[in-house]
Structure 1
């Protein structure tokens, strides 16, 4: 590939008639493809109680992907920290670092990753972190996964050392994720790498990057600001096929934006056969204007232009190509050819 690095963000989509086992199998196959093609990293998102998304537990998926890959960095895009106790997150990713040394990224976000009901269920044990405590918990996790660990100081006197794993030989790389000014400024103040969730929103991208870069406070691990951007992408041998494969995910985005009941992802045939209203069409068209959809050559050209415009040398693709009815349910031919065609053209 060129001097622009490509990476992958995977939400483990679940299509109509597909089981969770088949969806996960297709994603693990895609991770192996990304590894073979020379992609830099492969991240799994965290979402809950969504019929079309099976990426509920990034650490489990990362461990499974580690068994299918040898070179690509594996990580979370991201772990939604308010849903979890910081020590548990640190222990999970310290273990992953031991499984795949030098290949683990820990992307942290502060959104719930679901609706208010599921958020309450995730936090009902009373041990998970609080949104207001997010900055401190990010620091805690970074300390816990380090070789020295973290030191607790008791108000009555004395200290207690806590380590995420007994004898770490490496540490996962911590990234902050977000789509707001808050996350950009927090990453800058902590001297951490930062990723703007452009695939989800796209609003406020330039301001967030400016806040991050101009306010960056160098750290020992990261003396310079470091960032890349995410985009939704579909590539196919023809532009017509690419547009058809993009349609189911565009319709799903419209359902999400319009607060309509969520369902498993349509196949291409189902999406083409479904009539829509004006509101759905408006949301779909707005989302499509920000997606990279076309042949491998046209999408690669868009990636190059996008990277140059925002001054990044890495672009993370969310391959959102849907499947046709006739395609196997334990693989994702549309997503696979998206990665192959873009890599070949770039």
Structure 2
């Protein structure tokens, strides 16, 4: 009998949007996420990243640098970072200063994931870019390289038309720099990461289409540098793990309903509890959206999800998967507890050891 070798387990990381459920305050949501970050550190997860989203009733991750500092303070080993900073909303110098300060707070543990999406609706985007200095999306590649230069120990030099020069440093005497990653779900981001010789993350947790093409473009076009001689990448994924498949499916429903509401242009609400999500009537269009959405998620028992995640990582040739633990909460579970998200991390980490 031929015995097939076991597929290697990928390293695990976490992407956190700091979900806000019915009746929960922002303070309780943040407390729950910090408890989750602390436990991820204890379980051996590689990274813990915070997303940037604005004006969403179910998401409290509006300011990644603030949350990263808080997470760094309650952890001791895990890398903490942004997944990501939406660069068109911010001045490159401000981003460089923030992450240079974070690198001084937690040397060797800071990741700067950068994206070019707005992270919100058109009205909020206008408010974020009211000054007019950060809204030129066409200058995104230039702004990325500016941040890398500004945060480096050497700093950057501003050259004037008259011939003069002006030295700029994100922090006075850096001994450590954040690791910069480009995030995206399109050919553009993959090609830019390759061109700049940067590591790349495909945002599979919300956009599964185009994954194979983006990864192929990144790897084939990668421009090696002395600092980064080979391409590095990982993929995000929505994951719910529970003791039974039935519970996992129930815990998937609150977030799946949010995706359906968003895609059918219904008003957004705090994340419903599992009981609320089960009780809410569903029309044919919403059910179709829910089915399509969850089809790409990893939902089930620890052994089931561990097996499919191993296969997923092997298929796409990555040694790391960043999970977004989107398990909803039952009404009985504490408002300052990560509940189902914590269960997902603990069960999956044990299964992949």
Alignment partner, residue 178 of structure 1: 184
In the alignment, structure 1 residue 213 sits paired with structure 2 residue 219: yes
Match of 1:13 in 2: 19
Note if 1:342 corresponds to 2:348: yes
* Residue 10 of structure 2, aligned match among 4, 7, 12: 4
Aligned mate of 2:104, from 90, 98, 101: 98
What pairs with 1:219-298 in structure 2 (closer than 5 Å)? 219-298=225-304
Give yes or no for contact 2:86–2:119 (8 Å, CA) kept in 1: yes
Matches within 5 A, 1:74-153: 74-153=80-159
Gaps of at least 5 residues in structure 1 are none
RMSD: 0.7
Aligned ranges 1:45-84 → 2 under 5 Å: 45-84=51-90
Q: Out of 18, 22, 32, which is 1:26 matched to?
A: 32
Q: 2: distance between equivalents of 1:209 and 1:185?
A: 9
Deviation string 1:89-120 (CA, Å, 9 cap, x unpaired) is 00000000000000000000000000000000
Q: Matched residues in 2 for 1:221 and 1:253: separation?
A: 39
Contact map agreement 2:9 2:310 (CA 8 A) in 1: no
1:126 deviates by 2.5
Query: In 2, Cα distance between the equivalents of 1:296 and 1:35?
Result: 19
1:331 corresponds to: 337
Q: Which residue of 290, 309, 316 corresponds with 2:315?
A: 309
Please give the secondary structure, in 1, of the residue aligned with 2:310. Answer: helix
Cα distance in 1 for residues equivalent to 2:281 and 2:51: 30
May I ask how many residue pairs the two structures share in their alignment?
345
CA distance in 2, matches of 1:232, 1:180: 18
User: 1:29-66 CA deviation, whole Å, 9 max, x = no partner?
Assistant: 00001000000000000000000000000000000001
Q: TM-score, with normalisation over the residues of structure 2?
A: 0.97
State the SS of the aligned residue for 2:74.
Answer: coil
Structure 1 segments of 4 or more deviating over 6 A? none
- Uncovered stretches (5+) of structure 2, i.e. residues with no partner: 1-7
Structure 1 partner of 2:5:
none
CA distance in structure 1 between the aligned counterparts of 2:210 and 2:261, rounded to whole angstroms: 22
- 3-state SS in 2 of match to 1:114: coil
| Cα contact 2:250–2:274 (8 A) shared by 1 | yes
| Partner deviation per Cα, 1:240-276 (whole Å, 9 max, x = no partner) | 1100000000000111111111000000000010111
TM-superposed CA distance for 1:3, in Å, is: 4.7
TM-score (norm 1): 0.99
